[in-house]
Each structure stands twice: as structure tokens, then as C-alpha cells.
């Protein structure tokens, strides 16, 4: 069932619905031996995702643009919550900077032995063209390319962890139903061209890339035979800080108040994919409201997924050569 924001409250095949919260979908689950990275966890659904994973015993690493914002989130998540400081780690990373992503990954691997769960959650919405420090359109750089590079850098660590522990590794890309707004158009090769920038399609493009990334990851895992899965999801229509750069988005979310989820409901599908045994061995799928859903036709295009992968690789390689 497609979810464009208005909620379907009745339980569905998984036993959960749009009304389910992250705590409810992970009730009784034990993550004490797991390590997770959650991007965008200083606020909103990322922060709630981190909180619930911590409640289930998971060791959580929060990458933050500044240590100040990360440590502020850590205090909020741990003080008076009965969660040991030692289970939550803050590290600095700016997803829009490939250099920063590389430094984070190297630092993480030097400090932490295992990585079971990677949640690519962070995202921004902009309505004007802004280049990143690497000369890439800012939304695409943050929402997709930074996560693509981060995932690539951490894959060997995740494969080794799965092999050593026998626990299947999980990669989760937080996308959006907004990916459907692309219609039948998606030209990834023009995303860095300011003359071709479309203020209404840039965010949907980046969210479509999130789904295609997970799809191609899954295909590669199957070919390789490694014990990892990759899935994507739409969290629902939620009023969070993602709209902080857009008065239009903020007004739209306020207008659609009756169709909105709370933040605990918005984090439910992410936490479900991260921990629930129902999705063991499930890979390359798109989820809404803790249930498998059908994305747009473009999001299921395997050739387009391969093209997005190869162009993303080229953008990263180009930066390494500069």
C-alpha cells in the first residue's frame, strides 16, 4: 500500500502499522551484542532511533557535524534515562564532505571492533542550488553521496563482523515517499549542473538514489554471498528539523497535521528493519509503516540502480584524485 502521508492505522502483515512506535516494534528484542551507526541522530527520527536502539542494549555511534551538537544529543539521550554513557559514542562527521566522511570511517575502524547495523538516516531539503565543498549539489551530496561513500568505506568491517559473529549485518537507507515525485525523469549525470537544477526535483532525486543504492547493494551481496542485507524505507510524514531550511515545507507539514506521524512513530520502521527477526534475510526491499511496500517504477529499475552506483563511484574517485 502506498503511503503519501495519511496514516493507515490497522495492523498489517507484520503486525504493525503507521500507529506503531519504535519502542513497540522492538519490544522484547535484545541488541546487547550489536553495534550501530546512526547518521542524523542529533535530532528528529534519527535521535529517536538512537534512543530506542540504546534501550535495547545496542552500542550506538552518532556522527555529528560538530562535537558540540553531538555531545548535546548524548546528554539528552543518556542523562536520567538509565543508559550508560559507555553505550553511546559521538564522533565528528559532515556528510556533505567526502574528506570528512573518510576521516570518520578511518577513526571509527580504529576505535571499534564490530559494526552490525548502519542506518543512513541524515537528510536535508533545500530549494536553491548550493554546491558542497566537493562541487556537488548539496542535497545529493548529503542525502546520497555521503552515505554511499560511508557505506563503501565500512563494508569490509560489516562483512568481517557478520562472518566473525554469525549475526547478519543490516544496512538501512531512510528514503521518502517523495521519491515518487520524479515521475519518469531521473538524469543523475546532470545533478551537479546548476543550469539544470530543479528546485522541486532535487530532493526527490536524492531520495530515489537512496532506494536505488540499497537495491544495488543487495544485488551485490547476493552475488558475493556475504551475510549482509540492505533495505530502504519511507518513515512517514513527520515534522522534524529536515524542513528547517524551507518555510514552504514547514507550512505544508503544519497544514497536514492530521496526516502526520509523531517522531516515535516515524522512527518505527527504521528500528524494525534494524532489529526485528521478521526481516532476517530480507534484502533489496522498500518499506513503509513496518511493512514491505511498492516504490515507484524508477526505484525498481535495476539498470538505473547500476548507473547510479557507477556514477557515484566516479564522483568519489574523482574527489580522491583531486
CATH code of residue 194 = 3.40.50.720
What is the total count of domains within the chain?
1
Would residue 203 show up in a list of annotated catalytic residues for this protein?
Answer: yes
Structural domain that includes position 246? 22-321
* 5, part of any domain: no
Cell numbers that stand for 179 in this block: 521519491
Looking at residue 196, what is its pLDDT? 76
From the list 188, 205, 48, the residue with the least C-alpha distance to 125 is 205
pTM above 0.85, yes or no: yes
Band (4; pLDDT cuts 50, 70, 90): very low
* 241, part of any domain: yes
* 80, part of any domain: yes
Asked if pLDDT for residue 249 goes beyond 50, the answer is no
* 4, part of any domain: no
Between these two residues, 285 and 11, which has the higher pLDDT value?
Answer: 285
Asked if pLDDT for residue 309 goes beyond 90, the answer is yes
Contact 157, 109 (CB under 8 A): yes
* 48, part of any domain: yes
- The listed range with the strongest mean pLDDT (75-89, 169-183, 273-287, 307-321) is 273-287
Q: Which one of the listed residues 185, 203, 272, 286 is annotated catalytic?
A: 203
List pLDDT tens digits, range 144-197: 999 999 999 999 999 999 999 999 999 999 999 988 886 555 666 666 677 778
Looking at residue 85, what is its pLDDT? 86
* 9, part of any domain: no
- Write out the chain in H/E/C secondary structure: CCCCCCCCCCCCCCCCCCCCCHHHHCCCCCCCCCEEEECCCCCHHHHHHHHHHHHCCCEEEEEECCHHHHHHHHHHHHCCCCCCHHHEEEEECCCCCHHHHHHHHHHHHHHCCCCCEEEECCCCCCCCCCECCCCCEHHHHHHHHHHHHHHHHHHHHHHHHHHHHCCCEEEEEECCHHHHHHCCCCCHHHCCCHHHCCCCCHHHHHHHHHHHHHHHHHHHHHHHCCCEEEEEEECCCECCHHHCCCHHHHHHHHHCHHHCECHHHHCHHHHHHHHCHHHCCCCCCEEECCEEECCCCHHHCHHHHHHHHHHHHHHHHHHHHC
* 260, part of any domain: yes
* 10, part of any domain: no
List pLDDT tens digits, range 107-128: 999 999 999 999 999 999 998 9
pLDDT-above-90 percentage for the chain: 75
Summarize the confidence of residues 26-54 as an average pLDDT. 98
Asked if pLDDT for residue 264 goes beyond 70, the answer is yes
Amino acid at each position: 500500500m502506498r503511503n503519501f502521508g495519511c496514516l493507515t492505522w490497522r495492523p498489517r502483515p507484520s503486525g504493525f502499522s503507521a500507529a506503531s512506535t519504535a519502542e513497540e516494534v522492538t519490544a522484547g528484542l535484545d541488541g546487547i551484542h550489536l553495534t550501530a551507526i546512526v547518521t542524523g541522530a542529533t535530532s528528529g527520527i534519527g535521535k529517536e532511533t538512537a534512543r530506542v536502539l540504546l534501550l535495547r542494549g545496542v552500542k550506538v555511534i552518532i556522527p555529528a557535524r560538530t562535537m558540540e551538537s553531538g555531545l548535546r544529543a548524548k546528554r539528552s539521550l543518556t542523562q536520567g534515562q538509565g543508559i550508560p554513557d559507555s553505550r553511546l559514542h559521538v564522533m565528528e562527521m559532515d556528510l556533505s564532505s567526502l574528506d570528512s566522511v573518510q576521516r570518520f570511517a578511518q577513526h571509527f575502524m580504529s576505535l571499534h571492533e564490530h559494526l552490525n547495523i548502519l542506518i543512513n538516516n541524515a537528510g536535508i531539503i533545500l530549494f536553491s542550488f548550493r554546491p558542497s565543498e566537493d562541487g556537488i549539489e548539496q542535497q545529493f551530496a548529503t542525502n546520497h553521496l555521503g552515505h554511499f561513500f560511508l557505506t563503501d568505506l565500512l563494508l569490509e568491517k560489516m562483512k568481517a563482523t557478520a562472518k566473525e559473529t554469525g549475526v547478519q549485518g543490516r544496512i538501512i537507507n531512510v528514503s521518502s515517499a517523495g521519491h515518487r515525485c520524479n515521475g519518469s525523469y531521473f538524469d543523475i549525470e546532470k545533478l551537479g549542473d546548476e543550469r539544470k537544477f530543479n528546485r522541486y526535483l532535487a530532493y526527490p532525486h536524492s531520495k530515489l538514489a537512496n532506494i536505488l543504492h540499497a537495491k544495488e547493494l543487495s544485488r551485490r551481496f547476493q552475488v558475493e554471498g556475504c551475510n549482509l542485507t540492505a533495505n530502504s524505507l519511507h518513515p512517514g510524514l513527520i515534522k522534524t528539523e529536515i524542513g528547517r531550511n524551507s518555510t514552504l515545507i514547514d507550512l505544508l507539514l503544519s497544514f497536514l497535521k492530521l496526516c502526520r506521524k509523531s517522531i516515535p512513530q516515524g522512527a518505527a520502521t527504521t528500528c524494525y528493519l534494524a532489529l526485528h527477526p521478521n526481516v532476517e534475510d530480507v534484502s533489496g526491499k522498500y518499506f513503509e509503516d513496518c511493512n514491505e511496500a511498492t516504490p515507484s517504477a524508477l526505484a525498481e529499475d535495476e539498470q538505473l540502480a547500476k548507473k547510479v552506483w557507477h556514477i557515484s563511484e566516479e564522483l568519489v574517485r574523482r574527489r580522491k584524485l583531486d
